[in-house]
Amino acid sequence: MTSVTESRRPARRAPGADRPRRGPDHGAWFLVLPALIPILVLSVGPLLYGIMLAFTDAQSGRTEPTRWIGTLNFQDLMHDTLFWESFRIGLVWAVGVTVPQFLLALGLALLLNQNLRLRWPARALAIIPWAMPEVVVGIMWRLVYNPDAGILNETLRDFGLGDGRDWLSGLATALPAVIVVGVWAGMPQTTVALLAGLQNTPRELHEAAAVDGAGAWRRFRTVTWPALRPIALAITALNLIWNFNSFALVYVLTNGGPGGRTRLPMLFAYEEAFRYGQFGYAAAMGCVMVAVISILLAVFLVGRLRGGDEA
């Protein structure tokens, strides 16, 4: 996905000689500037500023000037067991959501790619969770999980599976319950991406393999999967990052409770920054989150890319 512009140009370079290129192309700069300035001022700049803040004792509403304190924030963070517990929960959540999300989305995409009768309403429905505000998704599932008026417990009672429970406030059930919501909310995007990939796989190859007597599983392994791999990798990597950084869903569902069992790192850092005003410390948390996620992602991608021989 990084090579957005590759491979288009080379063929055209030579004949392009009749249209002289003005040096390093000032026209391009002129076109890029309106977007580049906001990106620099409101994205790249703040990011660098944020990394800087991690090395200061910045706090909200302080009158004394902010001072450099070196790596003190990071040293404190090393011993902050609450943060590392939150980090662990964040990893469990990110992996716990991303993996089922991918498997379920792959199944749905394969089904939607078939010539089934219910395909059209299914596609429309499959996309609804994507269009919804995350806050509404959270509210909706609160209603589902509600111990008395919720449909989940009522269904369990109907089937005689006990009285149900208070899913979101149970110490053991809270994290699995929010993970289910995370899977539900993120499935559509993954499905759409995989479906796009599926529709790109050569149909002739599929038919040829079928004629040769390859079963469904073999056809998937040898024809579909190789074509789908790049998209599957990209969307899984993105999902992992998005899920790790997720905030609104859990904020609405449990606000990190019960007893911090669902306190994702984002919630932790948000409270540190905007409830307790510890800007410097929260920025250090942000840095650690980026660092760890980058490393995990690198390991994942390198491992995956090496896993297959096809590029």
Partner 1 sequence: MRTSTGARVGQYAALLAYLVFLAFPFLWLISTAFKPPQELASLHPTWIPENPTLDNFRQAFDEQPLLRAALNSLLAALAAAVVAVVIATPMAYVMARHRGRLTKAATGWVVVSQAFPFVLLIIPLFLVLKNLRLINSVPGLVMVYVVWSLPFALWMLAGYVRAVPAELEEAAAVDGAGRLRILVSVTAPLLAPGIVATAMFAFITAWNEFFFALVLLKTPEKQTLPVILTHFIGAEGVADLGPLAAAAFLATLPSLVVFSLIQRRITGGMLAGAVKS
| Positions 206 through 225 that interact with partner 1 (CB under 8 A) | 206-207, 210, 216
- The candidate with the shortest Cα–Cα distance to 100, out of 24, 177, 40, 180, is 180
Q: CB of 303: closest distance to partner 1 in angstroms?
A: 18
Q: Give the nearer residue to partner 1 in terms of CB position, either 92 or 230.
A: 230
Among 17, 19, 81, 310, binds partner 1 (CB under 8 A): 19
Q: CB of 31: closest distance to partner 1 in angstroms?
A: 4
Span interacting with partner 1, options 70-78, 81-89, 93-101, 261-269, rule CB under 8 A: 261-269
User: Can residue 36 be called a binding residue for partner 1 (CB under 8 A)?
Assistant: yes
**Contacts of 184 by beta carbon, 8 Å cutoff, 6+ apart:** 129, 137, 141
Q: CB–CB of 83/101 below 8 Å?
A: no
Q: CB of 75: closest distance to partner 1 in angstroms?
A: 19
Q: CB of 78: closest distance to partner 1 in angstroms?
A: 18
How far apart, in Å, do the first and last CA atoms of the chain sit? 13
User: Can residue 165 be called a binding residue for partner 1 (CB under 8 A)?
Assistant: no
- The candidate with the shortest Cα–Cα distance to 255, out of 174, 186, 176, is 174
Binding mask 239-258 for partner 1 (x = CB under 8 A): --xx-xx-xx--xx-xx-x-
- Looking at the DSSP bridge assignments, the partners of residue 219 are none
Q: Which of positions 105-134 make contact with partner 1 (CB under 8 A)?
A: 107-108, 111, 114, 116-118, 121-134
Q: CB of 228: closest distance to partner 1 in angstroms?
A: 11
Q: Which of positions 64-103 make contact with partner 1 (CB under 8 A)?
A: none
User: Can residue 14 be called a binding residue for partner 1 (CB under 8 A)?
Assistant: no
- The values of phi and psi at residue 215, to 5°, are -75, 175
Q: Which amino acid is at 184?
A: W
Q: CB of 95: closest distance to partner 1 in angstroms?
A: 16
Pairwise CA distance, residues 110 & 194, whole Å: 9
Pairwise CA distance, residues 218 & 5, whole Å: 34
Angle formed at CA 175 by CA 277 and CA 188, multiple of 5 degrees = 95
